[in-house]
Amino acid sequence: MKFTKNQIERYSRQIILKKIGTIGQKKLFKSRVLIVGAGGLGSPIAIYLTALGIGKIGIIDKDNIEISNLSRQIIFSTNDLKKSKSSTAINKLRRINPDIQLKSFSKRLTKKNINQIGKNYDLIVDGSDNFRTRFLINDYCFKNKKILVSGAISKFDGQVYTFNFSKKKSPCLRCFIPNVPIDLDIDNCEYEGVLGTLGGIIGTIQANEVIKEILGIGDTLCGYVLIIDGLKLTFRKVKLNKRSDCYCNEI
Ligand SMILES: [Zn+2]
């Protein structure tokens, strides 16, 4: 593939970086990323990945936009209320960067559809708001050796995990959360509240992890969890070991 003059200009501030260059930028353009959840995390993830030139992006979210979403889901506006999150997000992204192949899935990701949807993407970024979806994506990526960048936010805190399952020693989300929460569908943002900016902080770190995994540059969080306390502004990187008794060994 060849970039047009316009594309070279659009991505010039990245192409100029020695660790990216034209080769890296083309790599990004050939990548296929699925974003699960067009919410507080999904908004910055989608905006950045589209703007910086990931060639193919899918967004899956079954919900419609509610007024309580607008304090953190920055891809939506007040006049978008009641519209589908995934298709509204795609319309906004198209205006940011018309080069990108964008696809919206206005449905919930389930055991039944994850294979069909996931097979078209190399990497999944999880910005979902419940453990049922998080574990579903974890197990799917583990089984299919895909890269997963997972994030979570609640109150003033957040976490980021990167799992590169093509590496044998990569732990999984279940290694870190061995005791499955009783209510898998609970949405912490709804019940415990969340400060809007946490989505921006965590989501942007997730997007940054995606780029590094695709380009193979720097050190990603694979094998660690990043725990951020937004009030104290502490960033702790905690080693995450693969558990020999984890459910993932049986998948
Ligand atoms: Zn595991």
Per-residue confidence band for 251, with pLDDT thresholds at 50, 70 and 90: low
**CA 62–ligand 1 middle distance (angstroms):** 28
**CA 69–ligand 1 middle distance (angstroms):** 32
Q: What pLDDT, in 10s, does the model give residues 11-62? A: 999 999 999 999 999 999 999 999 999 999 999 999 999 999 999 999 999 9
The alpha-helical segments, DSSP class H, found in the chain are 5-10, 12-15, 21-29, 42-51, 85-96, 114-118, 131-144, 173-176, 188-192, 196-215
Specify the pLDDT at position 29. 98
* Three-state secondary-structure class, residue 202: helix
pLDDT at 181 over 80: no
**CA 190–ligand 1 middle distance (angstroms):** 28
Q: What pLDDT, in 10s, does the model give residues 56-88? A: 999 999 999 999 999 999 999 999 999 999 999
Side-chain-side CA neighbours of residue 33 (13 Å): 33
Mean pLDDT, the chain, integer? 94
Per-residue confidence band for 176, with pLDDT thresholds at 50, 70 and 90: confident
**CA 176–ligand 1 middle distance (angstroms):** 7
Q: Which single residue is written with the structure tokens 């949405």?
A: 187
**CA 22–ligand 1 middle distance (angstroms):** 37
pLDDT at 155 over 70: yes
State the burial class of residue 245 (Cβ atoms within 10 Å of its Cβ: 0-12, 13-18, 19+).
Answer: exposed
**CA 174–ligand 1 middle distance (angstroms):** 5
**CA 161–ligand 1 middle distance (angstroms):** 13
**CA 86–ligand 1 middle distance (angstroms):** 30
